[in-house]
Structure 1
């Protein structure tokens, strides 16, 4: 679990958050041309590790932060919209 006691969310809210996360991955994969399956899998693992591991104290992934993470991990530039 990424957050203590589920991050204060109900089971339904956690399920909705997970659906949104998976939809984002699908959208990312659909528009990707720069990341291989291996890199996408690594990105998913890094996102699962959480924001604290990546020096983000507020525990939220935003598209801009994910874009920065992609750049740091893979030395690839993308747009926030593409993230």
Structure 2
């Protein structure tokens, strides 16, 4: 989470504390702050047990797998490209990055963890900017105009064995 986001969440918790002191119910606090009732109940219990300090954030639940220094090294490795690391094409995938992290840093990460880490550092997935040179736009337009309506029509037709209909059991 970014420092700005952490500060925003901290402000929400402290606003909840002010409302607790005023005697506002958990449901009303949740509605006003646009958070879950369960979170507000947890915050109220922490506030009653330890005061305002009980509601304050204690920081992230765990340290990141790759420090900023190690992530800088990873970025340099990613900039070299997949071919430099033994893959046959120039496409980085999450599984390839996972393998690279394992080889280079001897650390294991999940694919979703890698995706989140990359997004936190400003990386995003890329889509090819150019279309294939073999693409025939006239043929594609003709197919969409002439063939697709028939495919769509057949797909929407419903039959007695269709999974789109639910049968009721007769009693």
Mark yes or no: TM-score above 0.5. yes
Instruction: Give ranges in structure 1 of 5+ residues lacking alignment.
Output: 1-30
Residue 59 of structure 1: aligned partner: 90
Q: Larger Rg: 1 or 2?
A: 2
Distance, in Å, in 2 between the alignment partners of 1:67 and 1:51 is 12
| Structure 2 residue ranges without an equivalent (≥5) | 1-61, 115-171
Structure 2 partner of 1:47: 78
Higher relative contact order (CA 8 A, sep 6+): 1
Which structure dedicates a bigger proportion of its chain to helix? 1
TM-score (norm 2): 0.30
Deviations 1:10-56 (A, max 9, x none): xxxxxxxxxxxxxxxxxxxxx97111111000000000001111001
Match of 2:107 among 66, 72, 76: 76
Q: Cα RMSD between the aligned structures? A: 1.6
What secondary structure does 2:96 align onto? helix
Aligned counterpart, 1:38: 69
- Distance in 2 (CA, whole Å) between partners of 1:54 and 1:79 is 20
Aligned residue pairs total 53
2:149 aligned residue: none
TM-score (norm 1): 0.59
Distance in 1 between residues matched to 2:78 and 2:92, nearest whole Å: 8
Q: Deviations over 1:33-80 (max 9, x none)?
A: 111111000000000001111001111000010011011111000001
